[in-house]
Every structure is written in C-alpha cells, then in structure tokens.
Structure 1
C-alpha cells in the first residue's frame, strides 16, 4: 500500500515555500543591488548578504512554524504571522549589513526592502489561503475496519478527520469487512465511486474478502489512494499509532538498512561528544550559582538521583538538580505534572530554563544515556505501561536521551494517556531515525528552551 500522496501537506508547503522564496530573493536583489551604496558592496559581500538573508529567513520560518499548515490556513493568523516573521527577517539582514560591513544606504530602495517585503509576503499568503479554500483538496475517505479494530472506531475516524491539525482527509463512509449482508455489500460497492481514498485498518489483510480486493484494485487503477491506517497516521502525525492492535511487529518497526544506521552511529557519536563538551561546560558554570541560590530558596540536597529504565531494560541512575521539596514521594511514586505542588518556587525557575536537566550530562558521560532518544522512565511506571500499551518495551531498544522526538513534539507528560501519545513519537523515531531527524530534534530542542515551549 502506498503512503499518502497529498497535494494537501507536502505539496502545499512546497507551493508556499516557492512563493515565499521568490519574494525573498527579489527583495534581497533590491537590497543588495539598489539599497546598499555600491562603494560598500563587492561581489563577495553580495553573496554573503544573500546567504545570510536566505539562512535567516529559513531559520526564522522553522523556529516560528511559518509552514505549519494548521496555522497558515487560518485567516486570523495569516497577516500577523507573516508580518512578524518577515519583519524579523528584514531586520536581521539590515543589521548584518550595518554591523559587519558598516554599509551606507540609498533611502528609497531601503524603504522598499523594509516595508514592501513584509507586505508582499502577507498578501501572497493571504492569496494562498483563499485559493486553497476555493479549490477542493480535502479527500473523501472510505475507512475500512474489522472486529479487532472496531473498538477504536471513533478515535481512529477522528484522527483521520483531524482536530487542531488539518489532515485534508474526511471520512465519508465506514465499512466493516465482517458479517455484512449481500445488500449492504452492493450499496457499499456503488458508493466507492464517490470516494477519493481508502484507509484500511484491519488486523490481517488476509481477512479482506476477494470481491472487496477486486474493487480496491479497480480504485487503485483509477488513480485513487489506498493506504493502511498506520501509513496515514505516520505521514500526517509523524508518529506511530499504538492503540490499534492491527499492525504486525514487523510493520511497526521497519528499520533502516545497515549502511544508513552505521552513518547514524558516527553522527550520534559526534553529536554526543560535541554536546558533552558544551553542556558539560555549561553545567560546571551553573553548579556554583545553583548551589548558592539553593541555600536560600530551595534548602536541601543540590542534586538528586533516581533509577530509570535504560537500554535493553537495564536500570541506571539519572541525575538532576533538585526542583521539588525534600521527600516529594513520601506518599508513593507519582508522575510530575506541569503545575505540580511539590515543585518549589526556585525549582520552577530551574525547570523553566531546563537548568534542572543539566546534571544528566553525567549519565551521558557514563554511557547510560545519549543526547537524543526516548526519555527514560521509572520501573514502576514501565511495568504499568507494559500491561496496557503494545510494544512499549520497544522504546528500550536504543539508549534513552536527554531530548527526543516525543519531547519536542508533545506536551509535558502528566499521566498514562500522555505516555501512550509519547510512545507513538518514540516508535516513529526508532523506525525513522536519521541524521536529518536528529538535526530537527536538536533544532527544535534549542527553540523549546529559548521560547519555553512544550516538553
């Protein structure tokens, strides 16, 4: 079965990016060739300004989620988001030219660059939103299930339709392959002509009736989309569904080939070595300050250790700056929540800037952890989660990490339901880990710390 091939997400983002880049390159051309006095600009400087301009725009767009279609298609976000991203972009380019090259400017071309660039990007994006509101791009879906997946029917349909996130798929018809009458089957076969996509969610594809398969094949030959629910979910949400027990262990975990995994190990070693030096240096600088302030605002031990489950299910000690009251778990183990009453006022400051996480560098140096991987959990919660979540132990195939795909994609985990959602992202990372995905996690981690988002 194919993966979702939608004009709706990747292609929409590409169209949006092409339009944006056309405006960005045109504005940089005006800035470099007309706004800057020619006495202050050489060919090498022109190239560097272009490079800084393109890099700064793409970085700002990524940090501020400029290509999050869920926000882009909402009219109330279009102009405001366009303005603050493009204003920041022109400001960065302008200040770079002033500070680095001490450039002199012609007034009118400079005003065109500073004022018209945000306006042009805003108008282009407003046009983009309205054009795609007119063009019907949402696919009408036939959702196929069986008795083993029926219990999650409502949740799975809601995932396809989307809530906060626009999936551009809409379930118009559901069909169970079990126990349907001949009349119902005939009605279903006639209704498939009005369907754009099939999403199949069955425990085994062997259970699909032959006549049903023939109709499916005819739909494929007519250019209609036929995909598994797992493929849909993975493509849209960048996570793997674990509530549906429909997919085999091998479909859930299709690892990359050995060559790519070998390159991944080299990259991971480089990242761990470099960040160990950088974060270790920051940790050493912070220790005396945290120790001093701890004496007045958070009396008790400076660092606490706790056993967590690591690679292959082995327990190890994790270290953090203490952010909770002493004996916070006197009444028993309990997951931390965002507004946990056990967190001290000084502990909230440590958590806000992720300073409490710094001592975990000790676990990285010892080899128990790495920088990128599933977040390690305590054995008491692992035992609970193993009973209710399929494949939970799979996350222990790789070393746990200080940051990871689940941490940057999902909110702070406060209960077992949140653990289920985070597992979906952990499994996606294990299945799809690559140098590119690791770089995305590193970049998102930096923005998470800077803007106090998520995790």
Structure 2
C-alpha cells in the first residue's frame, strides 16, 4: 500500500508552534536590529541571557492572557492583530518596568520605540504567515468515520465545529439494517467496506475514527482492513478519544454505561500534596480578593444605591461538594423580587439584571463576596460552578452523570465557565457538564494555571455574564 497522507498539525502542535515561533521571531528581529541599526538597549549575549529569558516568559504569559494561543483567534486575521497590539504593548511596558533582570532604561528614548516596533512587526509578520499559510486548507486533516447512519450528522458536526482543520471525507455505515447506498440527500459520502483502502489512498485520508456503538457493526472483513491500515501507519482511534482531545470535553452522551471506563478520575483528586498546596493558595488568593472587595465596596454601595436600590448582598442556596447545600454570597445584580414567578436560568442579556448589575456581572466584580465561601471551605477558586438545587434536580433527571460534577468543590471560576457562556438551556448545561467532567478527569496544577489565564482574558475583554 502506498501511503499518501497530508501533513496536519494537531491542536497541541499548533499551540506549541505558535509559542515557539513567537519567541524565535521576536529574538531574531531584535538580533537583526542590533546588528544593522544603532540599537544598544537589548542585545542577545551570554553575559545577559536573563534579558532573553525574561522577555520570552513575558511574551508567553501576556500572549496567553490576550488569547494569542486561542486557535480561533490565531486563525482570524483581524482578531489576531488586536491580540498582537495588546501583547506587544503590555510585554514592552512590563519589561521596561522590571528591575535587575532587564537592561537599564536607555537615555535615548527612541531606543524604546525601536524595541517596541521590532517586537510588534516580528509578531505581525509571523502571525500573518500563520493565518495565510499554516491555518489554510493545505493542512486539513482528512478522516473517515465508522458509525451508524442516524448518528452521522451529529458526529460530523461535533468534530468539524471543534476543529475547522478536521474534514470528514466519508463514512462506513456500521448499522447493517440501514441502506448502504449513496443518496442525493447524503452530505457525506458512504464508503463500501470492500473499497475502504482504495478510498483512503485516493483521498489522502490519514485517520479512521470509530464511533459505532454496536459491536456487531465491526465485521471480520472491516476488522481485517482496519488492521491492515494500522500496520501501514494510519491512525485508528475511538470517537470519544478524538472528541475529547479536540474539544477538551467529555462526550458523556456517547459513553453510556461504559462511562467509568472512559472517565478515570484525576489522581490529583486524591493527591494530598496537590490538595494542600491548592488550599494554601486559595486561602492567600481569598484574603487578597477580600481586601480588594473591601476597597471596592464603597463604590459598589454608591452604584447600588443609584442603579439597584436594594440590598447590597444577595444569598442563594447552591449545591456543593457531595451534594451538600450551602449559601453562596454575591453582590446583588438583579432587581428586587426578580424571581417572584419562580426560578429561571440566567441568560446572556438577562432582563432581570439592572444596568449597574450588568456592569458588575461583565467585570465579575459581583463574584468577590464568594471569597468568603472559599475561606469557609464551601467553595474552591477553581471548579465547576455551583448550581441551584432546583436546577440540579431538573437537569439530573434528563442528563446522565450530571451529579458527578459534585465529587469536588464548586469553584469561583472553572473550565466550563472560561470556555462557554451561561447555561440558558438543557443543551447548554450538557456542554458545560462536558467541560466540568474534563476538568475533574484531567485536574492538575497546569490546567488550573490555564484556567487562571483564561479567567484573566475573560475579565480583561469584559466577557463576564
């Protein structure tokens, strides 16, 4: 068999590529400027290697905060320019203000301008190359699905919406009771099992994804062909594995009774050292957060008296770890008696929120009193957002494994919150559950740091709800 696979960068590879070449392009630009022009502020040399290390760290930190490594942003020419301006400006400002490990400020201020322009232009040129070339269809990953015909549309959209560089070329119908002929209305071509290898070669397919929930759908003939493809270097993976790696969510609707086989809990949930370190950091963060909250309270009180005209604080029952009910504390953002007709899901443009309350939500200032809940041990800084008991009961009745999210403490922020908007419907709640379960499964200090950076992006871009 002649292997004819196209080059494709996985999501993790794209992010590493962006981080590495961001730093390399900036360093090469600064080296070029120092060699060609009268630029003495920043020079790459063994004697001042700390200058280079600090600059590289700042580029990665602020690039993360300003979404330079969000692939949707990185692939959009206009969005990435905004991120470049913010990243370059913040990096240069903080770098100039950093003592000891950075060069002494130059007496000739034009040197600072050259420093900024070199960083901005190098990032701009490299990222435009990425948008026009590396993010183009040249590097699309072509795959084949093995699934039941009734699942096809949902499975295809689940993959292609999550990764625009993922293209389903065709599928093999694993349900022998259905028609296996191509129809005019089929949006994906059906493949005859006998011609699987031929189709793979002719269409430069690099991966086969198995999504069939019926074991009898994988016939002996199909099994032998899959083994042959595997032996020839083609990737064969199970759908839930692919979906999880692309979306960073757990597709609970497809794992059914095998949920606990696909969902081993993170060892960090039982790692006492991890839990101790997290608890110490949470205490420190909560004390700092409460101090900031105390400073902001007079201004919030003033705004509340003008825009809200009601009590400053608001308490509400929420479901915590192991299903225990606790009272969550927030600055009030809604009108008085806004739920006189019963509890309803919060929405993006919630009519119950006052104008000042909308500002508090967007800036996430309304969440500051929850640092008290964290100090009391009822909540964590990071975890699934706590839901109201009435909604938990309602959702758990129609959604499998929903209460699994209560195996850890609820959080002030979380993986679902930084990746998805308010859960206005049951379908939204399913997506947020998928994110929450991913966090519980992969919980680690690195994922926690990632969530912190994403939370900072949410606040800075004023995307709170």
State the TM-score, normalized to the length of structure 1. Answer: 0.86
1:451 and 2:450 correspond: no
How far apart, CA to CA, are the structure 2 residues paired with 1:332 and 1:213?
55
Unaligned runs of 5+ in 2: 1-6, 182-191
State the SS of the aligned residue for 2:314.
Answer: strand
The corresponding residue for 1:381 is: 391
Q: Is 2:68–2:74's contact at 8 Å kept on the other side of the alignment?
A: yes
Q: Return the offset for 1:135.
A: 7.8
Q: Is 1:253–1:431's contact at 8 Å kept on the other side of the alignment?
A: yes
1:242-253 to 2 correspondence within 5 Å?
Answer: 242-246=252-256, 248-253=258-263
The corresponding residue for 2:171 is: 174
Q: Return the offset for 1:95.
A: 5.6
Q: 2:451 aligns with which of 426, 431, 441?
A: 441
Q: Which moved more, 1:235-244 or 1:220-229?
A: 235-244
The corresponding residue for 1:320 is: 330
1:191 and 2:199 correspond: yes
1:268 and 2:272 correspond: no
373 and 79 in structure 1: CA distance in 2 versus 1, 3 angstrom threshold: closer
The corresponding residue for 2:235 is: 225
The corresponding residue for 2:28 is: 26
How far apart, CA to CA, are the structure 1 residues paired with 2:354 and 2:397?
33
How far apart, CA to CA, are the structure 2 residues paired with 1:37 and 1:357?
43
1:94-243 to 2 correspondence within 5 Å?
Answer: 94=96, 96=98, 103-104=105-106, 112-132=114-134, 136-146=138-148, 151-162=150-161, 165-179=162-176, 184-188=192-196, 190-193=198-201, 194=203, 195-203=205-213, 205=215, 208-243=218-253
How far apart, CA to CA, are the structure 1 residues paired with 2:427 and 2:352?
21
The corresponding residue for 2:402 is: 392
How far apart, CA to CA, are the structure 2 residues paired with 1:324 and 1:289?
17
How far apart, CA to CA, are the structure 1 residues paired with 2:80 and 2:269?
43
1:50-129 to 2 correspondence within 5 Å?
Answer: 50-77=52-79, 81-82=83-84, 85-94=87-96, 96=98, 103-104=105-106, 112-129=114-131
State the SS of the aligned residue for 1:58.
Answer: helix
How far apart, CA to CA, are the structure 2 residues paired with 1:104 and 1:438?
38
How far apart, CA to CA, are the structure 2 residues paired with 1:111 and 1:442?
31
Report how many aligned residue pairs link the two structures. Answer: 444
216 and 328 in structure 1: CA distance in 2 versus 1, 3 angstrom threshold: same
433 and 204 in structure 1: CA distance in 2 versus 1, 3 angstrom threshold: farther
State the SS of the aligned residue for 1:388.
Answer: coil
How far apart, CA to CA, are the structure 2 residues paired with 1:447 and 1:212?
47
Q: Is 2:415–2:435's contact at 8 Å kept on the other side of the alignment?
A: yes
Q: Return the offset for 1:268.
A: 1.7
Q: Which moved more, 1:393-402 or 1:444-453?
A: 444-453
State the TM-score, normalized to the length of structure 2. Answer: 0.84
88 and 313 in structure 1: CA distance in 2 versus 1, 3 angstrom threshold: closer
Q: Which moved more, 1:238-247 or 1:311-320?
A: 238-247
Q: Return the offset for 1:399.
A: 1.0
Q: Return the offset for 1:235.
A: 1.0
How far apart, CA to CA, are the structure 1 residues paired with 2:337 and 2:283?
35
330 and 248 in structure 1: CA distance in 2 versus 1, 3 angstrom threshold: same
1:14 and 2:16 correspond: yes
Q: Is 2:67–2:457's contact at 8 Å kept on the other side of the alignment?
A: no
Q: Return the offset for 1:428.
A: 0.4
State the SS of the aligned residue for 2:368.
Answer: helix
How far apart, CA to CA, are the structure 2 residues paired with 1:145 and 1:81?
40
1:83-114 CA-to-partner distances (Å, cap 9, x unmatched) read 5533554454456589x876335688666533
Q: Is 1:36–1:103's contact at 8 Å kept on the other side of the alignment?
A: no
Give the superposed CA RMSD.
3.4
Q: Is 1:309–1:377's contact at 8 Å kept on the other side of the alignment?
A: yes
1:243-271 CA-to-partner distances (Å, cap 9, x unmatched) read 33457122332123479833321232122
